[in-house]
Amino acid sequence: MTLVAGIDSSTQSTKIVVCDAATGEVVRRGQAPHPDGTEVDPGAWWQALQQAASGGLLDGVSAMAVAGQQHGMVVLDADRSVVRPALLWNDVRSAGAARDLIAERGGAAAWAEAVGSVPVASFTVTKLRWLAEHEPDSAGRVQSVLLPHDWLTSRLLERPTGSAADLVTDRGDASGTGYWAPSTGTYRQDLLALAFGRAIETPRVLGPDERAGETADGVVVAAGTGDNMGAALGLGAVAGDVIVSLGTSGTAFAVHDAPVGDATGTVAGFADATGRFLPLVATLNAARVLTATAQLLGTDLAGLDALALKGEPGAGGLVLLPYLDGERTPDLPDATGSLSGLTRASMTPANLARAAVEGMLCGLADAVEALTRQGVAPRRLLLIGGAARSGAVRTVAPSLFGTQVAVPEPEEYVARGAARQAAWVLAGGAAPPDWTLPGLVVLEPTDVASGQRVRAAYGEARDVALRTAGRGVPG
């Protein structure tokens, strides 16, 4: 049996799966936590990777790849040392920089045309502008900028020093920087210089099936990719598949055959890990909405689940706008959450639990609609992520999305996608190996009309927040 490993370096932890390269069957697993926060010493990711791989987890592995959290900013000096802690995707301090960059470059439509996406605080390009403005001494030491998965790939290859050509990335993760264009497959050095004030080195972009190199032990290392691209690859997604992921963040994305450029900024026009494209909508608030609500109610996630299943559709009129950490879509980085529809009758634990589930899912239902406006024709909707295991989520989702929802067996699909990429690179060929997707639970909508009413009430609360912030409402 030929073994390959996939490494998912996410916001919260490192997860590793070791798979049979021919079938995708997982034969070993490892996991280790990451520090909390929105800025992290990248060395913590490396320590977590080593911890997750301890006990001989990677023995006999022939190839590996890393799928990492998107957008983070890792800046290196001339000696390839890390200049400052990495700013993560969920750090919103660069929201003002995003607005400035949009204005300086001719508006949102110009950015969408240039790189397929409109900058928000999550994107690396905005974090570089923040660094240049707020930490000029650190900025002056910067020679190159990497994404989290790029940095881990360089550590696996033991390339802390060397020329810029020694630093590599892939098109999927590069497409989330704000200075690489999926439509042309090239860096926009003018936008990078606009953001940072001068030119800095960027990693070489490898093809989907191209090797990054080998470890000191001769293990092949693939290009790696971003976490959402890894999930699509791990699920074997094809054109028409819409994936809704309920993790730390919420994402809705679809494999697409052509690049997109949404001037509203709602849909990010990313590339995928196979040579195609991955239009995506992201929300900052997903599974942690449920954990925060459970804590408020003095229970755990299982308790929240039981309460939400007792609540009626529409939560008795309660609407939770779940912008607990600000929000990325809609672009309201300084927003807070709100709870409306409070009456003596509606103020029950069951209704609050139900409102948390409905509020989280309504934001993702809006995201799926935004994808369809960009030409995505959904063939099926796949629901993944930790919160997809919730019985209440599974009950509510089909009616809110208004369509059949398929839930794959719980698996680390980001890590599985990285492993599948490693198997592809190891074997060669025009396409990744055909790994069977674990069994699907297919859920049918039972009350689309109530789902529409819930979404209408949510839409009113969302639009109030947008108007209060001086933003336009969705068309």
Note the pLDDT tens digit of each residue in 89-116: 989 899 999 999 999 999 999 999 999 9
Q: What is the pLDDT of residue 475?
A: 60
User: Per-residue DSSP letters for 94-156?
Assistant: THHHHHHHHHHTT-HHHHHHHHSS---TTSHHHHHHHHHHH-HHHHHH--EEE-HHHHHHHHH
The residues annotated with a catalytic role in the active site are 227
CATH number of the domain at 3-223, please?
3.30.420.40
pLDDT digits 0-9 by tens, 358-398: 999 999 999 999 999 999 999 889 999 999 999 999 999 99
- Give me the CATH topology for the region 236-408+445-475: Nucleotidyltransferase; domain 5 (3.30.420)
Give me the phi and psi of 421, to 5 degrees please.
-65, -45
Q: What is the pLDDT of residue 159?
A: 59
pLDDT digits 0-9 by tens, 398-408: 999 999 999 99
More confident residue, 446 or 195: 195
% of residues, the chain, pLDDT over 90? 90
Q: Do domains 3-223 and 236-408+445-475 have the same CATH topology?
A: yes
Q: What is the pLDDT of residue 215?
A: 95
pLDDT at 164 over 50: no
Q: What is the pLDDT of residue 248?
A: 82
More confident residue, 163 or 460: 460
Q: What is the pLDDT of residue 331?
A: 84
How much is the average pLDDT of 49-69? 98
**Inter-residue long-range contacts of 349-352, CB under 8 Å, 24+ positions, other chains counted:** 349/297, 349/307, 350/307, 350/308, 350/310, 350/311, 351/311, 351/312, 351/315, 351/316, 351/318, 352/293, 352/296, 352/297, 352/307, 352/315, 352/318, 352/320
Q: Confidence class of residue 240 from pLDDT cuts 50, 70 and 90?
A: confident
Cβ(49)–Cβ(32) below 8 Å: yes
pLDDT digits 0-9 by tens, 315-352: 999 999 999 999 988 988 889 999 999 999 999 999 99
How much is the average pLDDT of 204-232? 96
Domain locations along the chain: 3-223, 236-408+445-475
Q: Which candidate, 41, 82, 72, 76, places its Cα nearest to that of 201?
A: 76
Cβ(88)–Cβ(11) below 8 Å: yes
